Amino acid sequence: MVNAPDPVLSRWDRSWPALPYLFILLPAVFALVSDWRPQVLGLVVLAAIWHWFMVTAHPGRVERPAGLIIYFVVTLAVTGALIRIDSLFIVTGLGAFVQSYTLLPRRWAYAGVAATAAVLVAARPAAGRSTGELLFSFLVAALVASTIGLSVQTITDQNEQRKTMIVQLRETGAKLTALAEENAELQARLLNHAREAGVLGERQRMAREIHDTIAQGLTAIITQIEATEETLDDVNAVRARLDTVRTLARDSLNEARRSVQALRPAPLEEAQLPAALHEVATKWSRTTGVPASVSVTGDARPLHAEVEITLLRVAQEALANVAKHASAGRAGLTLSYMEDVVVLDVRDDGAGFSPGAAGSAGGGGFGLVSMRQRVTRLAGTFALEAAPGQGTGISATVPAIPATSSAADAEYGDPGGHVGKES
């Protein structure tokens, strides 16, 4: 298996350790071709082996100050000996300049450059050269070394910046990976919570539906049976009561099936909300003997199915509470269509109760809780007004969420029609 190159290492990182070999071998080839000298070959081999031993094979040796000094002393000594034999090996000194800026710290690099320049000038044969010429040669060598050093330092700085950027990118990538894993975990938790919330919501829905339909129907059936016991001598009255019980039982069975299947309530299956409220009020009045009126204000318009179901269930539960607890002589329902909300008010003239002691009056049971939950689930508001001897009133306000156009056309027909009659 071939190991992929480390992306942090640049081309310069991988190439600069091999440059000294080029600076040694290139002048050696020309020098040996023009004049074969064993001492040159020996020094060239020594220089190559020394660089391989100290830098290529064991980079850690030149990371310690002592090893770095020894490396440069031996390298400059061999380079000076080669230049003494053949001036072509000044090229090898240029490689020493590169090594100074690459291996030595910034301040020590200048000392390494000066030492290298001194070796280059001093190692050349001095015959016929004055002190001024030697000084001039030293300055030229220093200038060349400074130019090379500037280039090398620029490359090194850019290389370090690149390394830093790569490290930062790796850290950022690791953080993003961790965030992605955390996000995936959070999504899994949210899905789990959503499932649990869905199960709880479905349980609450079933509880509300059972309470608002089956329980109310059974209560009405019990009331009719109790009333039948008082009129056993009147056959016609008994038959009428039994017919009512039969109808209530069938309606309760149908509503139970609809609750299980999450269908729209029966009154809303065949009529719009105002007409459905009229139907509910009519049946309730026929069952309880208490007159109930329904009035609609504003322009009736199609609403989202959940909105209409909520208002219808609130009306049914409110009327059931009136029948069970109010001893009322009359009840009234008002459905008000406004611009942004729709409001349902249900009031009676019964005995009323104290809201602070609602439990004793039956008003604080599951009925009020169910109505409030239904309304608040649609971001609506639910209000209760009651006082002993002054009747009871509830008000449910929910957003007027419009129905889909297809459902509205099918259910309401002409959207410009108005429903605003009182029964």
d(CA 399, CA 309): 13
| Confidence at residue 214, expressed as pLDDT on a 0 to 100 scale | 64
Q: Are residues 281 and 158 in the same domain?
A: no
| Confidence at residue 363, expressed as pLDDT on a 0 to 100 scale | 42
Q: Are residues 155 and 301 in the same domain?
A: no
Asked if residue 358 is part of any domain, the answer here is yes
Assigned token pair, 167: 């490290």
Looking up tokens 């719009």 gives: 272
Alpha-carbon torsion (34, 39, 43, 46), positive or negative: positive
Asked if residue 74 is part of any domain, the answer here is yes
| Confidence at residue 410, expressed as pLDDT on a 0 to 100 scale | 42
Q: Are β-strands 331-337 and 292-297 bridged in parallel, bridged antiparallel, or unpaired?
A: parallel
| Confidence at residue 314, expressed as pLDDT on a 0 to 100 scale | 92
Asked if residue 186 is part of any domain, the answer here is no
Q: Which of 174, 197, 228 finishes a domain?
A: 174
Asked if residue 142 is part of any domain, the answer here is yes
Asked if residue 118 is part of any domain, the answer here is yes
> What is the number of domains present in the chain?
2
Q: Which of 146, 174, 202 finishes a domain?
A: 174
Looking up tokens 């009871």 gives: 392
| Confidence at residue 293, expressed as pLDDT on a 0 to 100 scale | 95
d(CA 154, CA 311): 77
Tens digit of each residue's pLDDT, the chain (423 residues): 444 445 555 555 566 666 777 778 888 888 888 888 888 888 888 888 888 888 877 777 777 778 778 888 888 888 888 888 887 787 777 777 777 767 777 667 767 777 777 777 777 765 555 556 556 556 666 666 666 666 666 766 777 787 788 888 888 888 888 888 887 778 667 756 755 765 676 666 666 666 666 666 666 666 666 666 666 666 677 677 677 777 777 776 666 665 655 555 666 766 689 999 999 999 899 888 899 999 999 999 988 888 898 899 899 889 988 988 888 899 999 999 998 999 999 999 988 888 765 444 444 456 788 889 889 888 899 999 988 888 999 999 999 988 764 444 444 444 333 333 343
Is residue 354 within 8 Å of 387, Cβ to Cβ?
A: yes
Asked if residue 194 is part of any domain, the answer here is no
Q: Are residues 25 and 157 in the same domain?
A: yes
CATH code of the domain covering residue 310 = 3.30.565.10
| Confidence at residue 125, expressed as pLDDT on a 0 to 100 scale | 60
d(CA 219, CA 238): 18
Residues forming beta bridges with residue 58, ordered by sequence position: none
Asked if residue 349 is part of any domain, the answer here is yes
Domain ranges, residue 321: 272-423
| Confidence at residue 409, expressed as pLDDT on a 0 to 100 scale | 43
| Confidence at residue 234, expressed as pLDDT on a 0 to 100 scale | 67
Asked if residue 232 is part of any domain, the answer here is no
| Confidence at residue 413, expressed as pLDDT on a 0 to 100 scale | 43
**Packed helices 235-261 and 273-288: angle between N→C axes, nearest 10 degrees:** 140
